[in-house]
Amino acid sequence: MDIFVKFRENHGFSDVWPIPLDDLTSFIVYMFRKKLSHSTVSGYISGLSYFNKINNLEDNTQKFVVRKLIEGIKRLGGPNQKDTRLPITRDILEKLLRSLAVICKNGYETKLFMASFSLAFHGFMRVGEITVDCKNKQMHTVKFENIKLCDARLEVLLTSSKTDQFGSGTTIVISKQKNKNVCPVQIMANFIKVRPPYLGPLFCHFDGSPLTRYQFSALLKRSLSVIGIENNGFKSHSFRIGMATTCALEGISDEQIKEMGRWKSQAFLRYIRI
């Protein structure tokens, strides 16, 4: 309680009970800027919640915005938490794609992983948008029926995503490239030609079973080893980080990168590694 009382005194907030929602959200932002950990912030808010309950006061600590702020601090890991994931650049992507013919057990699997790696990079994709998890959850996974191939571009409809929980939908447009070794349109066309006509997740094995997060990450790790790159800093999210970095290096504006990557906040700036 003491830290909250001092916060109010130092920042000109009135001694009002129950605690107004604005006071709570400002207090959480204050603690985040003071570099307090998620567990510490959560502990202080829990203490305020307990005080409200024993005094029969309205408990605004359970409001949606308060819970989301605390979740956000946990997700960010605090201001001092350094994101050590490395970017997969266009050059690294090309090497990864070439390695798949050596690693994969047959031609179909090669085309499957080439297409998934390529879309992960060029589409700023989150891993949950191209794979399913161990429980076969596919809430935001792109579907075969939501892909449209044209001569000069690839259109991918995401019916929902991490930042589109209500399913408004967004269409990602990816243009053709001169270098056929990394061209996302050509690579996707090669995969679609051999993919069985199953509806559901776009990336599936020949028997129709969907590509899993584990399989995607495992192949990425093996591919990095084959091309001689230490893989400790590379994760599935490195494709998204890499595309953001690549766009920045190529002179694309911050606002365009934010829109292309479907970010709703300035968090995209942490993905640009220059």
For residue 136, the model assigns a pLDDT of: 62
For residue 133, the model assigns a pLDDT of: 83
Read off the pLDDT band of 201 (50, 70, 90). very high
Q: Judge whether 238 lies within some domain.
A: yes
For residue 75, the model assigns a pLDDT of: 72
pLDDT tens-digit series, residues 3-31: 888 888 888 888 888 888 888 888 888 88
Whether residue 185 sits in one domain with residue 50? no
**HEC assignment per residue over the chain:** CHHHHHHHHHHCCCCCCCCCHHHHHHHHHHHHHCCCCHHHHHHHHHHHHHHHHHCCCCCHHHCHHHHHHHHHHHHHCCCCCCCCCCCCCHHHHHHHHHHHHHHCCCHHHHHHHHHHHHHHHHCCCCHHHHCECCCCCCCCCCEHHHEEECCCEEEEEECCECCECCCCCEEEEEECCCCCCCCHHHHHHHHHHHCCCCCCECCECCCCCECEHHHHHHHHHHHHHHCCCCCCCCCCCHHHHHHHHHHHHCCCCHHHHHHHCCCCCHHHHHHCCC
Structure tokens at 142: 């792109």
For residue 81, the model assigns a pLDDT of: 56
For residue 68, the model assigns a pLDDT of: 84
Whether residue 66 sits in one domain with residue 183? no
Whether residue 115 sits in one domain with residue 41? no
Residue 138 has pLDDT above 80, yes or no: no
Instruction: Residue 149: give its domain's CATH number.
Output: 1.10.443.10
Residues 84-103, mean pLDDT to the nearest whole number: 94
**pTM for the whole thing?**
0.71
For residue 171, the model assigns a pLDDT of: 93
Q: Judge whether 259 lies within some domain.
A: yes
Q: Choose the final residue of a domain: 76, 102, 133.
A: 76
Q: Name the domain count of the chain.
A: 2
Q: Choose the final residue of a domain: 32, 51, 76.
A: 76
Q: Which domain holds residue 228?
A: 90-271
Q: Judge whether 222 lies within some domain.
A: yes
pLDDT tens-digit series, residues 242-271: 999 999 998 999 999 999 999 888 888 888
Whether residue 196 sits in one domain with residue 98? yes
Whether residue 195 sits in one domain with residue 102? yes
Q: Judge whether 85 lies within some domain.
A: no
Whether residue 208 sits in one domain with residue 107? yes
